[in-house]
Amino acid sequence: LQQIINCGFSPYFTQNFTLDLFQATVWNWKSTEPATDYTKNCVILDQKWQTESCSKKYPIACRSDSDPYQWTINQTLLTFVDAYKSCPPNTTFAAPRSPQEQQMLLSVYQQPVWIEFSRPDIFCWTTSQISSCPRTNTYALIASNLKQGIFLLCVFMIFLVFQCRAQIRFRRETVRRQTVRKKVKQLEYKSMA
């Protein structure tokens, strides 16, 4: 099954499956990764992905800018941060995006290599040279949710005002009708007497 996954097939399980079958469908991370050791925030490829300390030195995986299946290895041992400026012209420090790309990279590497995948904060893995997670900008998230919440609150308050005014108007009309009916009945009694 693992060889089929590496060729790009994504199985659709229609029956019970074992943990071994499920793990065979994971083409990138080793079974014990990503590690919860938060001193290891960068990723190397050693048959599969595994976390490593960003200060260690490894060769660099560089993907062709024109063909995602063409990889070269910069054999110079560098830290993860230095990897961004070390790829040859027309190639980019990158991480495999599919099982096929990973298979092509595995075909040209001899030892563990840096791939462009890192953890800028505890809950986020990303493929870019940034210091914070692009999906967890807490302040922007809170600000946008706050704006949306205030907008919804205003809409609700306007709706509530109109509903209250309608209820008050309806109540006044009901009281007037009852008052008019009482007066009409009183007039009827007086005129009969």
Nearest CA-CA partner of 69 in 121, 24, 18, 104: 104
pLDDT at position 98 over 80: yes
Average pLDDT over residues 175-190: 82
Q: How confident is the model at residue 63 (pLDDT cuts 50, 70, 90)?
A: very high
Identify any residues that bridge with 63 across adjacent strands, giving them in sequence order.
71, 92
Q: How confident is the model at residue 185 (pLDDT cuts 50, 70, 90)?
A: confident
User: Regarding predicted confidence, which is higher, 2 or 59?
Assistant: 59
Which tens digits make up the pLDDT trace of 120-164?
877 777 776 666 666 655 555 566 677 788 888 888 899 888 888
Amino acid of residue 71: W
| Distance, CA of 119 to CA of 52 (rounded, Å) | 11
Which tens digits make up the pLDDT trace of 37-54?
788 888 998 888 898 998
Average pLDDT in the chain: 80
Report the share of the chain in percent with pLDDT over 70: 75
pLDDT at position 192 over 70: no
Residue 175 DSSP SS3: helix
Window from 92-96, 97-101, 177-181 with minimum mean pLDDT: 97-101
| Distance, CA of 61 to CA of 74 (rounded, Å) | 7
pTM for this one? 0.58
Average pLDDT over residues 8-34: 64
pLDDT for residue 33 = 80
Question: In this structure, what are the phi and psi dihedrals at residue 46, rounded to the nearest 5 degrees?
Answer: -135, 80
Amino acid of residue 106: L
